[in-house]
Structure 1
C-alpha cells in the first residue's frame, strides 16, 4: 500500500481523508493541519467519520515529509496564497512524493502555464523524482474529461458548454462565499474572484486543455459577467443573514473563441438563495448540479448531481473532484516522474470498492 498524506482538512481535505481511507491501495499515513486547535485530533474526527483512524493531525511538515510518503493530497487552499501553495507542493515533490491537488489554477493546462509556476515544479520533480497532477474542484472532470468524452458521441459539434449551477447557501466556506465571490456585499463591492481577468486566470487553462484535445486553436478568451441583488433579506442555515439590495446571484462565462465565435464555454450560475435571479437556469433539485451541453448533431446534455455529508450538493461536488485526484494516485505511482494534466491521466475505475461500507 502507498503511504499517503492529506495536507489540509477543509472542504477538500475532509473528502480527501475519506477517499484515501476507502482506497484499497492507499494507506493514510499522516494528516497535516495549520490550525493549532486541530493538532492531535484523529483524522476520522476531522473528516466527519465514525470511529477513529489512528492518525493524529500534525503541523510538523518537515517530520511528515521526512518519512518519505509515496503520495500527498494537497488540499490546502491556493486561492489567496498561490505562492505559498507552490512552495508547499514543491517541498512534497522534492521528498519524492506523487502530489495531487486542485490548488494551482495555472497548472490545469500545464503546457500553457507561466514559467514562474511551471519551472519550480519541474525543478522539484528533477530533484526528488515526484510527480504532480492538478485538477479543479469546480469540478475539474466537469470541465475536461466529461465534455471531451461526450464530444466523442456526436458527428458534428457547434459548441461545448460546461455549467456549474449552485445555491451557495450550502457551501461551508463563508470567507469564500462572502468575500471572494461577493455574496451579501453591496453591489459596488468588487469581489476578487469576479474581477476582470481573474475568471480567465482560474478557468482559462481548462479551456485551453479542451481546445488542445479537440485539435483547435483559441483566437481569444473572453469573459461575461452579470450580478444580481437580492430583492428581499434572506437567512441561511450555515452563514446567517444576507440583506436585501446586496449581491445575491452571479452568472459569468469564460469563453474560448474559435473563428470569432464562443465555441468552448465554462459558465457559473450561483445564488445565495433560490429566490435570487429566478429567470436564470436552476439545478433540478434546487440545490446544485453540474451540466455539460454539446450543441451539434446530435445535441447532447448531461446533468450530474452528487451529494455528500448528508445531502449536501456542494460537498458532493468537492467529493467527486477529490475522487478524481485520489483515484489517480496509483496510476501516477506507476508512471514516470513528471508534470501531468487531465489529458494524460485516465479516469480510474473504483476497483475493490463496490459494495464496501463507508462511514
Structure 2
C-alpha cells in the first residue's frame, strides 16, 4: 500500500480523503489542516464519511512530512496564495513525496510554465526525488484528455470546444458565486474571475497543452466575456436571494487562435437560476454538465454528467477531477521523479474498484 496524506480539507480536500480511502493501492496516513478548529478531528468526520478512519488531522506540517509519506494530495487553494502553495508543494517534493494538486494553474501545461516556477519545482525534484502532477477541478480531464481522445476518432476537425455548463441554484459556495464570479452583484461590479487575463491565466495552459498534443501552433489566446442581468428576483435554497437587475448569468470563452481562427475553445456558461439566459447552451437536465464538441465531419458531441450522492452535479464534477489526480498516484510512484502533465499520465481502468471492495 502507498502511504498518502491529504493537505487541506475544503471542498477538494474532503473529496480527496474519500478518493484516497476508496483507492485499493493507497492508505491514508495523515491529514494536514490550516484551521486549528479542525485539528484533532478524525479524517472520516472531516470528509463526511459517517465513520472514523483512525487518522487525526493536524496543523503540524513538519511532523506529517517527517513520517515520509509516499504521496501528497495537495488540496489547499492556490487561487490567492500561489507562492505559498508552490512553497508547500516543493516542501513535500523535497521530502520525497509524489504530489498531485489542482492548485497551480500555470503548471497545467508544465512545459510552457513560467521558467522560474518550473525551475523551482525541478530543483525540488532533484533534491528530494519526488514528483508533481497538476490538473484542474473544472474538471481537468474534460479540458485535455477527453477532447484529445475524442479527436482521435474524428475525420476533419474545424473546432474543438470544451464546455462547462452549470446552474448554481442548488450550489452552496456563496463566496465564490457572489464575489469571485459576481452573481447577484450590480452589473458594474468587476468579478475577479472575469477580469482581463484571468481566464487565460486559469485555462490557457489547457489550451496550450491541447495545441501541443494536436501538433498545431497557436497565434495567440483570446478571451470573450458576456454577462446578463436577472430579469426577476430569484431565491436559491442554499445561498438566498439574488435581486432583479443584478448579474444572473455569465458566459466566457478562452480561445486558442490557429491561423487567425478560434480552433480550440474552453467555454463556461454559468447561471444562478435556470430561467437566466435561456438562449445560451443548457445542460440536458439537472444543474450541470461537461461537454466536448468536435465541429467537423462527422460532428461529435460527448456530454458527461457526474452527480454526487446528494444529486449535486458541481460536486460530482469535482469528484471526477479529484479521481483523476488520486488515480495517478500509483503510476507516479512507479515512474521516474519529475514534473508531469496530463499528456504524460495515462488514463487506466479502475482496477480493484468495481463493486466498491478493496483487496
Q: After TM superposition, is the score higher than 0.5?
A: yes
TM-score range relative to shorter protein? over 0.9
Mapped partners of 1:252, 1:261: distance in 2: 17
Listed as ranges, the matches of 1:332-347 within 5 Å are 332-347=332-347
CA–CA distance in structure 2, aligned partners of residues 248 and 116 of structure 1: 39
Residue 204 of structure 1 aligns to a residue whose secondary structure is helix
SS of equivalent to 2:177: helix
* 1:121 paired residue number: 121
Once the 2 structures are TM-superposed, how far is the Cα of residue 171 of structure 1 from its aligned partner? 3.2
Deviations 1:199-234 (A, max 9, x none): 001100000000000000000101100001111111
Instruction: Give the structure 2 partner of residue 186 of structure 1.
Output: 186
Aligned to 1:210: 210
Q: Equivalent residue for 1:68?
A: 68
Question: What residue number does 1:282 align with?
Answer: 282
User: Paired residue for 2:264?
Assistant: 264
- SS for the counterpart of 1:294 is strand
Alpha-carbon separation, structure 2, partners of 1:200 and 1:99 = 24
Whether the aligned pair in 2 keeps the contact of 1:223 and 1:253 (CA below 8 Å) is yes
* Structure 2: tracts of 5 or more residues without a match: none
Does structure 2 conserve the Cα–Cα contact (< 8 Å) formed by 1:234 and 1:244? yes
Counterpart secondary structure, 1:20: helix
Counterpart for residue 239 of structure 2: 239
CA contact (8 A) 2:5 2:30 kept: yes
Question: In structure 1, how many angstroms separate the alpha carbons of the residues matched to 2:36 and 2:285?
Answer: 38
2:65 is paired with a residue whose SS is helix
| CA distance in structure 2 between the aligned counterparts of 1:167 and 1:357, rounded to whole angstroms | 34
Question: For the residues of structure 1 that align with 2:27 and 2:103, how far apart are their CA atoms?
Answer: 22
Whether the 8 Å CA contact 1:11–1:172 is kept in 2: the answer is no
User: Is the 1:170–1:313 contact (alpha carbons within 8 Å) kept by the matching residues of 2?
Assistant: no
- Contact 1:170/1:314 (8 A) holds in 2: no
What is the CA distance between 1:177 and its match in structure 2? 1.2
d(CA) in 1 for partners of 2:113 and 2:171? 29
Match of 1:37? 37
Q: In the TM superposition, what is the alpha-carbon distance from 1:155 to its structure 2 partner?
A: 1.6
**Residue 244 (structure 1) shift:** 1.3
Aligned to 1:78: 78
**CA distance in structure 2 between the aligned counterparts of 1:244 and 1:200, rounded to whole angstroms:** 30
Number of residues paired by the alignment? Answer: 358
Aligned to 2:330: 330
Residue pair 2:286, 2:313 contacting (<8 A) in 1 also: no
CA contact (8 A) 2:228 2:277 kept: yes
**Superposed displacement of residue 357, structure 1:** 5.5
User: How far does the alpha carbon of each residue in 1:299-358 deviate from its partner, in whole angstroms, 9 at most, with x for none?
Assistant: 100000001141110110100000000000000000000000000000122110101169
Q: Distance in 1 between matches of 2:172 and 2:357?
A: 26
2:22 matched residue in structure 1: 22
Q: 1:331 to 1:357 in 2, by over 3 A?
A: closer
Output the CA distance in 1 between the equivalents of 2:100 and 2:196: 29
| Change in CA separation of 1:357 and 1:248 when aligned onto 2, cut-off 3 Å | farther
When the two structures are superposed, what TM-score results if normalisation uses the length of structure 1?
0.98
What RMSD over aligned residues (CA atoms) do the two structures have, in Å?
A: 1.1
Q: CA deviation at 1:173?
A: 2.4
* Structure 2 counterparts to residues 94-173 of structure 1, below 5 A: 94-173=94-173
Counterpart of 1:91 in structure 2 is 91
Name the structure 1 match of 2:354.
Answer: 354
Unaligned runs of 5+ in 1: none
